[in-house]
Chain A
C-alpha cells in the first residue's frame, strides 16, 4: 500500500468522525426562540431527572414514531414541538403527528385509509375521543398477548392520546388564558379545581425542590399552585415559567429568551447540578451516536463490498478505517450512556442490542487485525449495523434510560452477569455472521480459495470458543445472582433456558467438530443455526410472557423474529448445498 493510499484511507475515517461531531453541534433557533435552551431545562419524570428535551424526543417517538416531523413546509424538532404542546396547544393540536396503521382503528375515527402511513392531528381525533376511550377501556383488562390486533392498536392509540393530553395540561390547562392568569387568580373560588386538575394530569414535574431536606421533592405546576393558594408561598420558578408561557404564546422571542435565563437562574439556585446534568444528556440526545454509528457502519460495509470488485488495496483499508470510526462513535455513545445513567452498559433490551453490536464490532476489528482478509470488517460492519437497527426499533417505547426495577437494581450483577452474557450473544452472532459470509463467498466467488476458507473456519471456531466461555460464565453468574435474590440457582425460567440453549449449542458444535462429525461446512452450518438460537433466547423468551425475566412483551417484534429465523434457515440450506452447487469444476487438464 502506498503512502497516499494509506492517508486516503485514514482520511475517510477522520471525515466520518468530523461528520459525527457536526451532528452534535446545536442547531438554529426556530423563529428566534431558544427552543434548545428550553429543552435543556431539567425535569423529573419516570423517576429520574432529565432534560425536557429527552421527554420531548421520547414522547414524539412514542406518538409519531420519529423524533421530528414536517409541517407547513418546514421541519419541527422535538423541542419546538414540546413548546407548542405546552404553551400553544391550539397550534400543536393541528399538527398531524398521530400515526395510525390499523385500518379498523382508522375507520373507527371516521377516516379513510389513504396512504400506507396515516397521520392525524389531535384535532382530528378529538371528536372521537370518547369512543376511543370506551374501546380501549374494554380491551385493557385483557392481557397483552391475548389481545386481537384491533384491541392492541386501540389501546396503543389511547395510550398515545392520553400522553399527549397529559403533556398539554402539565404547565397550564389547555384552553385557559395561561399560567400568568392562573397566578393572578390564585384566590378565586374555582381555582382550586383547576389546580387539582393540573396536579392530576401533570406528566412531569418541572419545579426543583425548594428544601435541601427533601432532594427528590420536585413539584408539578399544579402542586406548586395548590401550595401557593393555601399560603405556602410562591415557588420561585412559577413566575419565570409564566413569563415563558406568555412570551411564547404571543410570539415574543426576546422576552422568551430573557425569561429562560431567569428560569435557568432559579434552577441553578435550587438544584445547582441539575442544569449541568441535563445539559450533558441534551448533547448526547442531539449527537445521536448510535444513529450516526450505524450510518458509518453502513458506509463501511458498502465500501468493503465495492473493494472486492474495484481497487481492493485502497478500499479495503478505507472500509477498515470507517469501521474503526464507527466503533469510536459507538464506544463514545456507550460510555456516555454509562456515565449519564450511572449504570453498567446493559440495563434493558434496547441497551443489550447496542452492546451486542458493540461487542461484535470490537471482535470483528480484532479478527480483521489478525487475518486481514476484509471478512472481519465485512461481518463486523454488518453486525454492528444490524444490531443498531434493532436497537433503534426497540427504543421507540419511550425512555431508554428508564429506572431499574427493584430486583434488577444491582450494579454488581448488571456489570458481571448481564455484560458477560451479552458478550456471549455478540460472539455467537459474529460466528454466525462469519459463517454466512463463508457460505455466500462459496457460491458467489468462482475461484477456489482453500486458504481463505480455512481462515474463515478458524475465525468462526475461535469465536465460538470465545462465545462458549462468555455465555457459560454469564449463565452461571446469572444462576448465582438468582441464588442471591430469588433463592434458587436454577429455576428453568425461560430466559435462563434461553441462555442455556446457547451454551449447549456452542458446546455441541465444539464436540461435533472434535469428534470429526462435522468439518468446514458442517461447522459453518451449525454456526448459522447459532444465530437462530441466540435470537430466540434473546427476544423469543420475552414473547412467551412467563417467568421472572419477562419485563416486556413485544408483539410487532414477533414478525421480525420469525422472518429472521426463516432467513437463517435459508442461509443454512445455502451453506449446506452439495458441493456441485458451489464448487468450480476442476480445470480440465489438456
Chain B
C-alpha cells in the first residue's frame, strides 16, 4: 500500500505534467518578481518571491499564498533529475541528456548563489589604503580601542546580536554592553526645546530625538540602524549612549586608561590583503557627459603571499582575487572616490559549465530531429 503510494508519487514527481506545471509556476513567479520590483526594489522582490519557499502576505498577490521560487526550483530540480534518469540511454537522446544535466547544474548554481553569495563593496579614495569590504545594508556596532596610536583593536557587534537585546560581554576587554533599545531603522532629528529628553545620558545622543521607522528594502534606500546601550566595566556604568548609521561624530569614553571609540557603521569584513587606489579615471565621450569608461588603478598588497602589484579594474574587466571578485561599480566625491562592488560566490563557475552543456545539447538534439524530419520528407517524396 505504502509502496504503491510512494511509487505513484515518484512517478508523478518525474512526470512531464509536473514539469509543465512547475515551468508555468516559475513563469508566474518571474512575472510577479518583476512587477514587485517597482515598489520593493530588486533585492526585496527577489527575497520575497525567488529566495523563499512560500510567498505570502504580498500585496501584489492580495496576500494569497503562492509557492516560492526556492520550492519551485527545488521541485523542478528533482523533476528534472528524475526525467533525466528516465531518458533512454541511446545516442538519439544524447542531446536531451546534455540539456537536462546542464539545466540541473544551472539550478544548482542559482541555489549556491542564493545560499552562499555574499555581496559587499569597497570604497576607496585616491591615495587611500583599504583592507576591508563592507556590507551594503547590515550594520555593526564597533568598539575600537584606540589607546595605542599605532594600532587599533576593533571589536564589533553585528546588528543581529544587538536586536536580541541581551547584555553583550566583549571578549578580550572588561566591557559589557547592555542594549537599552534597538532600532532597525530610525529617523534622527535635533532635540527641540521642550521635547521629552533623550534616553541617552552621554555623547551626542543627548541632543537627538529619535523616531522608529519601518524597514526599507528598495535598492537606493538605507536603513538608519540605531541603538541605545550602556557600556559597563568593573561594576561601573559609563552612561547610556546612542550610536547610529546617521551619526558620524566620533564618541568615546575611557576606562582604566584605555580609550574606546564607539561607532555604528556598515558591517565590515577585514581582508588579509589591502588595496591602495592610485588613480581613478572617469572618461566621457568628447563634448558630452556620456560616460565612456570608469577605471581604478589599484595597488594590491598581500603580505601573506609576499605580493605587491598594480591592477587596473575597469568596465567588464573585474579582478578575481582570493575567492572574491572586485568590479568597478560606482564613483563619487568629484571622481576622487571609487566604489568597487565585491562578490564572493563559490558557485560562479557553474553557469558557465551549464551554458556549454545546454547549448551543445540543444544543437545536438535539434540536429538529430532535423535529420530525422528531412529523411522522412525524402521518403515521402520517394514513396
Interface residues of chain A, those whose CB is within 8 Å of chain B, are 44-48, 205, 216-218, 402-403, 405-407, 409-410, 413, 458, 462, 465-466, 468-469, 472-473, 476-477, 479-481, 483-494, 497-498, 500-501, 504-505, 507-508, 511-512, 514-515, 517, 541, 544-547
- Contact among A47, A405, A409, A504 with B23 in the assembled complex (CB-CB below 8 Å): A504
- Contact among B20, B318, B341 with A515 in the assembled complex (CB-CB below 8 Å): B20
- Contact among A476, A505, A544 with B34 in the assembled complex (CB-CB below 8 Å): A544
A508 and B27 in contact, given A465-B366, A514-B16 (Cβ under 8 angstroms): yes
- Contact among B23, B315, B351 with A490 in the assembled complex (CB-CB below 8 Å): B351
Q: For A472, what are the chain B residues with a Cβ–Cβ distance below 8 Å?
A: 358-359, 362
Q: For A498, what are the chain B residues with a Cβ–Cβ distance below 8 Å?
A: 34
Are A480 and B30 in contact, with the CB atoms below 8 A? no
B327 is an interface residue with CB less than 8 A from chain A: yes
Residue of B nearest to A45 (CB): B287
Docked CA distance A514–B15 (Å) = 12
Are A489 and B351 in contact, with the CB atoms below 8 A? yes
How many Å from the CB of B197 to the closest CB on chain A?
38
Are A541 and B341 in contact, with the CB atoms below 8 A? no
Docked CA distance A575–B25 (Å) = 24
Q: For A514, what are the chain B residues with a Cβ–Cβ distance below 8 Å?
A: 16
Interface residues of chain B, those whose CB is within 8 Å of chain A, are 16-17, 19-20, 23-24, 26-27, 30-31, 33-35, 37-38, 41-42, 45-46, 50, 106, 109-110, 113, 117, 119, 219, 283-288, 290-294, 315-318, 325, 327, 329, 341-343, 345, 348, 351-352, 354-355, 358-359, 362-363, 366, 369-370, 373
Supply 8 further A-B pairs (C-beta < 8 A) apart from A492-B46, A511-B23.
Answer: A472-B359, A472-B362, A480-B352, A486-B341, A487-B343, A490-B110, A497-B30, A547-B37
- Contact among A403, A468, A486, A492 with B45 in the assembled complex (CB-CB below 8 Å): A492
Residue of B nearest to A518 (CB): B20
Are B291 and A405 in contact, with the CB atoms below 8 A? yes
Are A489 and B369 in contact, with the CB atoms below 8 A? no
Are A476 and B287 in contact, with the CB atoms below 8 A? no
A205 and B287 in contact, given A489-B109, A511-B19 (Cβ under 8 angstroms): yes
How many Å from the CB of A50 to the closest CB on chain B?
12
Are B23 and A407 in contact, with the CB atoms below 8 A? no
Sort A-B residue pairs by CB-CB distance and give the 7 closest, nearest first: A47-B285, A216-B286, A515-B16, A487-B343, A476-B355, A406-B291, A47-B288
Residue of B nearest to A48 (CB): B285
Sampled A-B contacts (25; CB under 8 Å): A46-B290, A47-B290, A48-B285, A216-B286, A406-B293, A406-B294, A407-B315, A465-B369, A476-B355, A477-B355, A484-B316, A486-B327, A488-B117, A488-B343, A492-B30, A492-B33, A492-B42, A497-B33, A504-B26, A507-B23, A508-B20, A511-B23, A541-B34, A544-B37, A547-B37
How many Å from the CB of A11 to the closest CB on chain B?
31
Q: For B354, what are the chain A residues with a Cβ–Cβ distance below 8 Å?
A: 476
Docked CA distance A262–B317 (Å) = 46
Are B119 and A515 in contact, with the CB atoms below 8 A? no
- Contact among B23, B33, B110, B219 with A508 in the assembled complex (CB-CB below 8 Å): B23
Q: For B26, what are the chain A residues with a Cβ–Cβ distance below 8 Å?
A: 504
Docked CA distance A214–B210 (Å) = 56
Docked CA distance A57–B348 (Å) = 47
- Contact among A47, A462, A477, A493 with B42 in the assembled complex (CB-CB below 8 Å): A493
Docked CA distance A478–B19 (Å) = 25
How many Å from the CB of A199 to the closest CB on chain B?
12
- Contact among A476, A501, A541, A546 with B358 in the assembled complex (CB-CB below 8 Å): A476
Output the residue of B45, B315, B342, B343 with the most chain A CB within 10 A: B315
Are A484 and B24 in contact, with the CB atoms below 8 A? no
Q: For A480, what are the chain B residues with a Cβ–Cβ distance below 8 Å?
A: 351-352, 355
- Contact among B27, B348, B366 with A489 in the assembled complex (CB-CB below 8 Å): B348
Residue of B nearest to A485 (CB): B316
Q: For A406, what are the chain B residues with a Cβ–Cβ distance below 8 Å?
A: 283, 291-294, 315
Q: For B287, what are the chain A residues with a Cβ–Cβ distance below 8 Å?
A: 44-47, 205, 216, 218
A473 and B359 in contact, given A511-B19, A545-B38 (Cβ under 8 angstroms): yes
Q: For B358, what are the chain A residues with a Cβ–Cβ distance below 8 Å?
A: 472-473, 476
A485 and B351 in contact, given A205-B287, A498-B34 (Cβ under 8 angstroms): no
Residue of A nearest to B374 (CB): A370
Q: For B283, what are the chain A residues with a Cβ–Cβ distance below 8 Å?
A: 406
How many Å from the CB of B303 to the closest CB on chain A?
26
Docked CA distance A500–B69 (Å) = 14
Q: For B292, what are the chain A residues with a Cβ–Cβ distance below 8 Å?
A: 47, 403, 406, 409
Docked CA distance A488–B285 (Å) = 28
Are B286 and A501 in contact, with the CB atoms below 8 A? no
Q: For A468, what are the chain B residues with a Cβ–Cβ distance below 8 Å?
A: 362
Residue of B nearest to A536 (CB): B31
Q: For B288, what are the chain A residues with a Cβ–Cβ distance below 8 Å?
A: 46-47, 403
Residue of A nearest to B41 (CB): A546
- Contact among A413, A494, A500 with B316 in the assembled complex (CB-CB below 8 Å): A413
Are A512 and B20 in contact, with the CB atoms below 8 A? yes
Docked CA distance A205–B31 (Å) = 46
Docked CA distance A472–B103 (Å) = 11
How many Å from the CB of B313 to the closest CB on chain A?
11
Output the residue of A406, A473, A483, A505 with the most chain B CB within 10 A: A406
Are A546 and B30 in contact, with the CB atoms below 8 A? no
Q: For B50, what are the chain A residues with a Cβ–Cβ distance below 8 Å?
A: 492
Docked CA distance A514–B93 (Å) = 14
Residue of B nearest to A495 (CB): B34
Q: For B16, what are the chain A residues with a Cβ–Cβ distance below 8 Å?
A: 511, 514-515
Are B359 and A483 in contact, with the CB atoms below 8 A? no
A483 and B27 in contact, given A469-B362, A546-B37 (Cβ under 8 angstroms): no
Residue of A nearest to B341 (CB): A487
